[in-house]
Amino acid sequence: MKTTLRTPGRRAVLAGLALSLATAWAAPAAHAQETKIRFQLDWRFEGPSAIFLVAAKKGYFKQEKLDVTIDAGSGSGAAVNRVASGSYEMGFADLAALMEFQGNNPGAPNQPTGVMMIYNNTPAAVFSLKKSGIKTPKDLEGKKLGSPSFDGGRRSFPIFAQANKIDDAKVTWVSMDPALRETMLARGDVDAITGFYFTSLLNLNARGVKDQDIAIMSYPEYGVKLYGNAIIADRNFARTHPEAVKGFLRAVAKATRDVLADPAASIATVKERDGIIDTPLELKRLRLAIQTAIDTPDARADGFGDINPARMALMAAQVTRTYGTKTSVNPDAAFDRSFLPEKSLTASVLRGK
């Protein structure tokens, strides 16, 4: 039997060409659908920034169809302002700084709002050298305290003072550049300083001061239940791109779970982004941040990323009073819980699974 080979007809050729063109355009079209998010950190690339860098490294943002750019920052106030200006869609900042902005700028067109709590407890603390004799909060009366004027611990010190019956009029403040804060304490130019627990402690160590020679009064352990840093978002962006914000938070939750399960491996990702970091130092910083601010009893009570409405309302009232904002801070505007991931995901974060 003779077999006849048929050549494709004109119609078949055109159909094949159309299919090839459709396939060729498929990849660029999918890529074009990625939502771009510019993300502003509160500070330099250090241990705690691993949770964001790991999300990028492991492709968690890409899985959510997000094209995320992560930039180092220069303080929580700057991060809030950059999101409010529209320069960044999202950021990482101290919630008190966000509340202060809202209270002073109620008519701002790009109002940032908190969407996921990362530091469930403020890392703020008072540091002194044990040889100074400062053992209790009341011992700070009549002493010189040093800190940059914008430091969160200094701004909220009146709340710490009220909780511990300190007459803060008897405390003298000395302002300095952040790089000089721990140096001035180490050489005795000031009696105590305020700073983040996992920043000032390690900076003092780097200046030759040993842990056993340092006295620390962390705000949460002395009655100050302020929330710390949260992921913030431009409210207009969140309203028009709700799935992008939800996807971002899902990616961060997954990355945080990974970081808590293996902090040492996570620091390698930070090292890739900033090759000059001191790996052992940043690993210690990350572990301190986890211990004092991220995986805490309060965080487990609220649920990772979430807040307690009553505690949030108290903080809003305290910030309004202490910071002297132009208008009262609205706790409902300060934090929007509607973008948080499903409970099955967030519940797994603090279990390290």
pLDDT tens for each residue of 315-353: 999 999 999 999 999 999 999 999 999 999 999 999 754
Domains, the chain: 34-121+227-349 (3.40.190.10), 124-222 (3.40.190.10)
- Rounded to whole angstroms, how far apart are CA atoms 78 and 103? 16
Average pLDDT over residues 272-286: 94
From the list 71, 51, 21, 76, the residue with the least C-alpha distance to 250 is 51
**Residue where the block lists tokens 């990482």:** 92
Question: Does the pLDDT value for residue 20 go beyond 70?
Answer: no
Q: What type of residue sits at position 194?
A: T
pLDDT tens for each residue of 280-289: 999 999 999 9
Share of the chain above pLDDT 90, in %: 86
Three-class secondary structure of residue 195 per DSSP: strand
| Cβ neighbours, 10 Å, residue 14 | 11
Question: Is the distance from CB of 112 to CB of 237 less than 8 angstroms?
Answer: no
pLDDT tens for each residue of 288-316: 999 999 999 999 999 999 999 999 999 99
Average pLDDT over residues 160-185: 95
**Residue where the block lists tokens 């940059």:** 148
3-state secondary structure 301-348: HHCCECCCHHHHHHHHHHHHHHHCCCCCCCHHHHECHHHCCCHHHHHH
Q: What type of residue sits at position 178?
A: P
